[in-house]
Amino acid sequence: MEVKKTIKKWPNFKVLSFSLFILIMTGAWFEFKVRAQVPKEDVIRHASNQYQQLTRWAKENGKIPRSVENGIIRPIYKGFDWTAGFFPGSLWYLYELTRDDKWAEDARYFKDMLSDMRFFSGSHDLGFIFNNSYGHAYRLHNRSEDLDVLLDAGNTLIQRFNPTVGAIQSWDIDRGWQSQRGWSFPVIIDNMMNLELLFRLSEWTGDSKYAEVAIAHANTTMDNFFRNDYSSYHVVDFDPSTGKPLAFQTAQGYSDDSSWARGQAWGLYGFISVYAFTFDKKYLELAEKIAQYYLNHTHIPEDNIPHWDMSLYPSSEVPRDASAAAIVASALFQLDNFSTIDYRKKAEEILESLSSEKYLAENGANHNFLIKHCTGSIPHNEEIDVPLNYADYYFLEALYRHKKL
């Protein structure tokens, strides 16, 4: 996401020189050097090598990789898959990290596989899919045909908006995943991630209707999803005729009252994204509170990679979710651009952990995905301790955001 304005001032170099002297004298210079090491160019080269092989598999099979299942690469579902945009999105970030045109060519090739999904009205995840693929394409190369696809996707997405609720409906209640739950108008915290597409469409076209939907959805989420400690529910079900909340539940967390790690990450990322487009301080303040809840949680391990649900007592038996950590790292770099609180240090620590041999796969390993030890959905016994294409995407985005600092 591009930052609309810079709010941090250039340093006073006399003060900076004195500060460096103090750092050296106190021994804090070591920490300064460590922080300057991220991202390492060898990590970017390694990511390029891995993705050359993963891209070769994708081209040979004519499929977009999603994860690993039963020892083989699991491609995206035929017809529609919420994760479909992350692989071309990763290729776009490799292009920006390396400036090698082959990554842009590959990103275009795989994004074009998604074109027909723009008319699928049965999901809120068009923002995920098209902002991460066609959105990057248009941001970088300004081609009208890409904007046309994005507009189709945005217009399809806002069909799911209910003005009485003030939100975009997440899952369908009569078909598909979770339809058996008996919900009336379910909205999930993940849905915050689909708003960036709408903000960008208003920015690119001058038509405010997209941003108006996004702002209404953000406000409804702000008012209904967060507990007193700023942890988040996963699902809030609404009465579509009155707009009142009916139930506060989960689909992928441990329990209705627990803190599903990736859900906390989605909320953090989503609200700092909304602030970056609106500059309405209430969104920044909420993002800071979500960040403080997450970062100060007593169950966060020393290496900053959370277990799949933060409410569970940490142990080696509880799977980690490195995808949540990657999302948080990227969000914290964005948050640090706007906040007076230093979030960069923690973002770098998370990025350093993700770049370690424990979480970053060796060359040729992990079926050529980058990040290991991710968790999709424990309650559904799906994608447990495997790579996930969205973990790679947010890891590369975090690398890119750090490189821009």
Whether residue 203 has pLDDT greater than 50: yes
Is 1 inside any structural domain? no
Cβ contacts of 402 within 8 Å, gap of 6 or more: 38, 39, 333, 347, 348, 351
Q: What is d(CA 112, CA 145) in angstroms, rounded to the nearest whole number? A: 11
Q: What is the pLDDT of residue 101?
A: 99
Q: What is the pLDDT of residue 141?
A: 98
Per residue in 129-154, pLDDT (tens digit) is 999 999 999 999 999 999 999 999 99
Average pLDDT over residues 22-47: 55
Sequence-ordered alpha helix ranges (H) in 279-319? 281-295
Whether residue 28 has pLDDT greater than 70: no
Average pLDDT over residues 164-192: 90
Q: What is d(CA 338, CA 283) in angstroms, rounded to the nearest whole number? A: 11
Q: What is the pLDDT of residue 35?
A: 42
Is 300 inside any structural domain? yes
Q: Do the beta carbons of residue 307 and residue 261 sit within 8 Å?
A: yes
Q: What is d(CA 226, CA 41) in angstroms, rounded to the nearest whole number? A: 39
Is 2 inside any structural domain? no
Q: What is the pLDDT of residue 275?
A: 99
Q: What percent of the chain has pLDDT over 70?
A: 89
Q: Which residues are annotated as a binding site for substrate?
A: 125, 190, 250, 262, 266, 377
Q: What is d(CA 202, CA 181) in angstroms, rounded to the nearest whole number? A: 35
Q: What is the pLDDT of residue 11?
A: 33
Could you tell me the pLDDT band of residue 17, with boundaries at 50, 70 and 90? very low
Tell me the CATH number at 336: 1.50.10.10
Q: What is the pLDDT of residue 181?
A: 81
Active site residues: 125, 190
Is 8 inside any structural domain? no
Per residue in 272-323, pLDDT (tens digit) is 999 999 999 999 999 999 999 999 999 999 999 999 999 999 999 999 999 9
Is 3 inside any structural domain? no
Q: What is the pLDDT of residue 227?
A: 99
Q: How many CA atoms lie within 13 A of 107 on its CB side?
A: 30
Residue 365's identity, in one-letter code, is A
Please indicate whether residue 71 or residue 176 has the higher confidence score (pLDDT): 71
Could you tell me the pLDDT band of residue 14, with boundaries at 50, 70 and 90? very low
Per residue in 113-133, pLDDT (tens digit) is 999 999 999 999 999 999 999
Could you tell me the pLDDT band of residue 182, with boundaries at 50, 70 and 90? confident
Please indicate whether residue 266 or residue 182 has the higher confidence score (pLDDT): 266
Q: How far is CA 33 from CA 21, 30, 38, 243, 342, in A?
A: 14, 5, 10, 52, 17
Average pLDDT over residues 5-23: 34
Is 77 inside any structural domain? yes
Could you tell me the pLDDT band of residue 180, with boundaries at 50, 70 and 90? low
Residue owning tokens 């309650």: 379
| Number of domains into which the chain is organized | 1
Could you tell me the pLDDT band of residue 37, with boundaries at 50, 70 and 90? low
Average pLDDT over residues 197-214: 99
Q: What is the residue range of 353's domain?
A: 13-403
Is 174 inside any structural domain? yes
Is 7 inside any structural domain? no
Q: How many CA atoms lie within 13 A of 383 on its CB side?
A: 23
Within a 10 A sphere around the Cβ of 209, how many other Cβ atoms?
A: 15
Per residue in 65-97, pLDDT (tens digit) is 999 999 999 999 878 999 999 999 999 999 999
Q: Which residues are annotated as a binding site?
A: 125, 190, 250, 262, 266, 377
